[in-house]
Chain A
Amino acid sequence: KNEVEQSPQNLTAQEGEFITINCSYSVGISALHWLQQHPGGGIVSLFMLSSGKKKHGRLIATINIQEKHSSLHITASHPRDSAVYICALSLGSARQLTFGSGTQLTVLP
């Protein structure tokens, strides 16, 4: 069963482009997380959302609870944004997570 689906799986962009990564889910959630993982690196939490929109620098995350959909946008993309972006759902009282398979983003100079 796939409770969370990310798209696209791979994305290549030119520096400066506006990027959108999508996350759709099929279950009730308490929160949705966007995570970033650089090659060979650790995992960093970018956003935790339960409604609406959040912005941090060039990154914007939105969530539509009714449509069970979230997007991560990167404005003015840069090669250092190249990473895997992972959507994760918070479910249940133990705050266990269900993870998407990730989107591999490559930004070319």
Chain B
Amino acid sequence: KAGVTQTPRYLIKTRGQQVTLSCSPISGHRSVSWYQQTPGQGLQFLFEYFSETQRNKGNFPGRFSGRQFSNSRSEMNVSTLELGDSALYLCASSLWGAVVDTEAFFGQGTRLTVV
């Protein structure tokens, strides 16, 4: 069974550009969550999608957005990139992600560097 796949693995962008990251969850999983990991702020929750609807949102500016498709694949977009957006972006998927207790499986992340 394939795990959570994030593409690309590495990305270098210039300040002011925009970027789109992709996450393919484990087959059958309907919940996808995104996290930003930086040395200074640690792991911070960005947002969660469940059945194509954003269910939870972290405390990030509107430059950070996401969406989920009918096949549960998710994308996150960061517009007008800033140097501080350089981070490891992790995606996690789970079967339901609702009240039912299900484990979240993480991908290997996308390392974004903004120059």
Partners in one complex: no
Q: Which A residues contact B (CB, under 8 angstroms)?
A: none
Q: Which B residues contact A (CB, under 8 angstroms)?
A: none
